[in-house]
Amino acid sequence: MPVDHYENFPVASLLLPARLRRPVEIIYAFARSADDFADEGNFADSERLDKLGGYVAELDRIGCEAPRLQLFQQVAEIVSRHSLPISLFYDLLDAFSQDVTKKRYADFDEVLDYCRRSANPIGRLLLHLYKAPTPLNLAHSDSICTALQLINFWQDIDADYARNRIYLPQDEMTAHGVTDADIASRNLSPQWSKLMQFQCQRARAMLENGRPLTHALPGRIGLELRFIVAGGGKVLDKIDAVNGDVFRHRPVLTRWDWLALAPGALFA
């Protein structure tokens, strides 16, 4: 789908069966537009919450009356056609609303709770589309999606701080001798490098924990997911290669990176 944002990972790519591309595009359009309410523009927090509240009201109409916005008419269509749990759409809106009101995370459990609502619903919705939402598949999907959310956090530390938002657990920052002021000054200290190394190791372990899903899903769907997992690992490699200096070297995946990852994804 066309988006105005840099994306690390393919969205409704040609690897997906044609019948699934449109519902995947609708899910991502919903998530991206709601996320933009929390992040983009120069709106006051109250305006952001009002916009997200409008999305909640549109979700509330599904099953009761026709939604007013075209996007939600499309959401209603795929929810009905593919038996998607509408609660997962509410979870996404709840996470994006939290972005407006919560700027710090005391510990990793708080970060995981955010990921449960901000990232995991996407994987779960896709598994429902694929008709494969078994308990084991859902657990592996959650592990991959949480890892990808963490990876996005770590590559965007600078941009998030500009919004006065830090996803690094505060207790882990303290344990490593890192403060908010270090982020503000882009201080690439040995302590910072060790903190980022720890965060990358944990995200990598979560990616690996979910890897069995890439072979449990058939054909092109599994191949798509193998590319995504490989891409997440590559971003972590890039963060490690610069000792965690995501301030001056924000890691992005280029066309050449994807080409280099292809053999591993194809023959893994």
For the cut 90, the answer to whether the pLDDT of residue 84 exceeds it is yes
Query: What integer pLDDT is reported at residue 253 of this predicted model?
Result: 84
User: What's the rounded Cα separation, in Å, for the pair 265 and 65?
Assistant: 44
Kindly report the pTM of this predicted structure: 0.91
For the cut 70, the answer to whether the pLDDT of residue 5 exceeds it is no
Q: How confident is the model at residue 42 (pLDDT cuts 50, 70, 90)?
A: confident
For the cut 90, the answer to whether the pLDDT of residue 71 exceeds it is yes
For the residues 11-40, what does the mean pLDDT come to? Answer: 84
Which residues, at least 6 apart from 7, have a Cβ–Cβ distance to it below 8 Å?
none
Asked if 12 contacts 28 with a C-beta cutoff of 8 angstroms, the reply is yes
Among residues of the chain, what percentage have pLDDT more than 70?
93
Query: What integer pLDDT is reported at residue 267 of this predicted model?
Result: 65
| Residue in the structure block whose two tokens are 């990852």 | 261
DSSP assignment string, 144-213: HHHHHHHHHHHHTHHHHHHTT---S-HHHHHHTT--HHHHHTT---HHHHHHHHHHHHHHHHHHHHHTTH
User: What's the rounded Cα separation, in Å, for the pair 97 and 91?
Assistant: 10
For the residues 26-55, what does the mean pLDDT come to? Answer: 93
Q: How far, CA to CA in Å, does 171 sit from each of 104, 109, 168, 247? A: 11, 11, 9, 21
Helix (H, G, I), strand (E, B) or coil at 116: helix
For the residues 166-195, what does the mean pLDDT come to? Answer: 97
Asked if 166 contacts 103 with a C-beta cutoff of 8 angstroms, the reply is yes
**Nearest one of 125, 118, 127 to 160, comparing CA atoms:** 118
Q: Interhelix angle for 45-61 vs 70-82, to 10°?
A: 50
For the residues 109-135, what does the mean pLDDT come to? Answer: 96
Q: How confident is the model at residue 76 (pLDDT cuts 50, 70, 90)?
A: very high
Query: What integer pLDDT is reported at residue 70 of this predicted model?
Result: 95
Which residues, at least 6 apart from 137, have a Cβ–Cβ distance to it below 8 Å?
127, 213, 216, 217
Instruction: For 249-259, write each residue's pLDDT tens digit.
Output: 999 888 888 78
Query: What integer pLDDT is reported at residue 4 of this predicted model?
Result: 37
Query: What integer pLDDT is reported at residue 268 of this predicted model?
Result: 64
For the residues 43-69, what does the mean pLDDT come to? Answer: 93
CB atoms within 10 A of CB 130: 18
For the residues 91-114, what does the mean pLDDT come to? Answer: 97
Instruction: For 186-237, write each residue's pLDDT tens digit.
Output: 999 999 999 999 999 999 999 999 999 999 998 888 888 998 999 999 999 9
